[in-house]
């Protein structure tokens, strides 16, 4: 299908950390945006946050996105879908607590998209680098991972161990299986229609998503995932007594605003159709973030700046995003901008 340059875009989980930035980016680019939330109170917050865009922002409440047909009405007159929502289960007792909601909510959405294939032209699903490969073990040789890789290790682990699984394996398995189910659904749909399914599929695969917060998080206790890691490692000095964790272990991240731009570009670029795209902005170590943050506040623990040597940083896994850089052409903002804006956001919220 051709690129989507105008029209109505559905964004799932509209009150989420990344989704609020995506809504803003879409609206600023002139799209009509229909966001889904699980409750009216969450919809009210988003409506107030983006009230300057008037009636180009529409919000609908879907209490349970896992149910068949849950998205049928929400997809009326929609040109494209950005599936950003990801069910979060606190303290799961079984890996199925992560896996089943992720698969069910994705398939429910795709089933509704299939019903609306006369209007929907593209579906973009947010995956994660945890769907590419398991985390490297200490001592493993560094490796480069591209879009051809899948985290079958996590899937096999939860299938074999069940309730005795490592609690950290449920989420990677859920992201791996839900993305694979999406591609399988798309393939079956094309086969059923003789290769003429009227919408195409894209998956975006980000690492840590970091940066300032504009959704309804008002306390540090509400932080989770990568933004919670940033708060703990940088603002609270969680690794003050673990020099190696601060100065040697490298990771990759994308600024949440650049991720929002990548989402929109995945609609605008015709070449994105049918692609699985890793989107990473920069490599980093926590000490690098700390050194930048301390320029903007004296409330950040110092870590071990004397031990930080960029030439000795070990990145156990490097995610190769060459394809997305070529297709999406997103210009990633400097690391300093992400850290500075995050710290200024913390100060504005009264956290520092």
Over the stretch 196-252, which tens digit does the pLDDT of each residue have?
787 899 999 999 999 999 999 999 999 999 999 999 999 999 999 999 999 998 899
What's the pLDDT tens digit per position in 276-333? 999 999 999 999 999 999 999 999 999 999 999 999 998 889 999 999 999 999 999 9
Indicate the number of domains in the chain: 1
Structural domain including 144 reads 8-212+254-280+319-331
Residue 136 pLDDT > 90? no
Q: What is the pLDDT of residue 141?
A: 77
According to DSSP, residue 314 is labeled: B
Here the CATH number for the domain that contains residue 131 is 3.40.50.720
Q: Does any domain span residue 300?
A: no
Instruction: Answer whether residue 38 is part of any domain.
Output: yes
What's the confidence (pLDDT) of residue 165?
A: 86
Q: Which residue shows structure tokens 């599929």? A: 201
Q: Sorting pLDDT into bands at 50, 70 and 90, what band is 11?
A: very high
pLDDT digits (tens, 9 = 90+) for 259-278: 999 999 999 999 999 999 99
Q: For residues 297-313, b (16+ Cβ closer than 10 Å) or e, as one string?
A: eeebeebbeeebeeeeb
* pLDDT the model gives residue 92: 64
**Angle between helix 170-192 and helix 152-161 axes, rounded to 10 deg:** 110
pLDDT band for position 194 (cuts 50, 70, 90): confident
99 confidence band (pLDDT: 50, 70, 90): confident
In a domain, 58, yes or no: yes
CA angle 127, 4, 22 (to 5 degrees): 45
**Spatial contact of 57 and 50, defined as CB atoms under 8 Å apart:** yes
Q: Quick check: is 166 in a domain?
A: yes
Rg of the chain, C-alpha, whole Å: 20
Asked if residue 344 is part of any domain, the answer here is: no
Q: Residue 102 falls within a domain, yes or no?
A: yes
How far apart CA 293 and CA 298 sit, in angstroms, is: 9
pLDDT at 118 over 70: yes
In this predicted model, what pLDDT tens digit does every residue of 18-67 receive, in sequence order? 999 999 999 999 999 999 999 999 999 999 999 999 999 999 999 999 99
Q: Is residue 156 part of a domain?
A: yes
Give bridge partners of residue 251 from the DSSP assignment. Answer: 284
Is 299 inside a domain boundary? no
Query: pTM for the whole thing?
Result: 0.95
Strands (E), the chain: 8-11, 32-37, 57-61, 80-83, 122-126, 143-145, 200-205, 208-210, 251-255, 276-278, 282-284, 317-319
pLDDT of 93 reads: 67
**In sequence order, what are the beta bridge partners of 33?**
9, 57
| CA–CA gap between residue 177 and residue 159 (Å, rounded) | 12
Residue 112's pLDDT is 96
């Amino acid at each position: 299908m051709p690129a989507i340059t105008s029209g109505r875009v559905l964004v799932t989980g509209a009150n989420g950390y990344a989704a609020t930035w995506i809504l803003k980016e879409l609206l600023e680019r002139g799209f009509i945006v229909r966001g889904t939330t699980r409750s009216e109170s969450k919809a009210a917050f988003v409506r107030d946050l983006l009230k300057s865009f008037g009636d180009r922002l529409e919000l609908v409440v879907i209490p349970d996105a896992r149910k068949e047909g849950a998205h049928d009405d929400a997809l009326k007159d929609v040109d494209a879908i950005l599936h950003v929502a990801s069910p979060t289960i606190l303290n799961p007792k079984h890996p199925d607590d992560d896996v089943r909601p992720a698969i069910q909510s994705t398939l429910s959405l795709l089933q509704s998209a299939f019903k609306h294939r006369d209007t929907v032209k593209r579906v973009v699903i947010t995956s994660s680098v945890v769907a590419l490969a398991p985390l490297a073990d200490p001592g493993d040789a560094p490796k480069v991972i591209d879009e051809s890789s899948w985290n079958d290790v996590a899937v096999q682990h939860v299938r074999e161990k069940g309730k005795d699984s490592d609690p950290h394996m449920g989420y990677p398995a859920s992201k791996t299986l839900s993305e694979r189910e999406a591609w399988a659904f798309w393939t079956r749909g094309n086969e059923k229609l003789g290769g003429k399914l009227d919408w195409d599929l894209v998956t975006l695969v980000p690492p840590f998503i970091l940066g300032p917060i504009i959704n309804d998080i008002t306390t540090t206790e509400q932080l989770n995932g990568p933004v919670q890691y940033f708060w703990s490692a940088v603002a609270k000095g969680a690794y003050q007594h673990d020099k190696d964790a601060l100065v040697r272990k490298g990771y990759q991240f994308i600024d949440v605003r650049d991720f929002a731009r990548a989402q929109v570009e995945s609609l605008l670029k015709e070449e994105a159709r049918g692609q699985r795209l890793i989107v990473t902005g920069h490599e980093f170590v926590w000490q690098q973030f700390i050194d930048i943050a301390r320029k903007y506040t004296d409330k950040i623990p110092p870590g071990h700046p004397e031990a930080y040597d960029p030439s000795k940083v070990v990145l156990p896994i490097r995610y190769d995003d060459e394809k997305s850089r070529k297709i999406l052409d997103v210009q990633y903002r400097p690391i300093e901008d992400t850290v500075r804006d995050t710290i200024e956001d913390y100060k504005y919220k009264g956290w520092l």
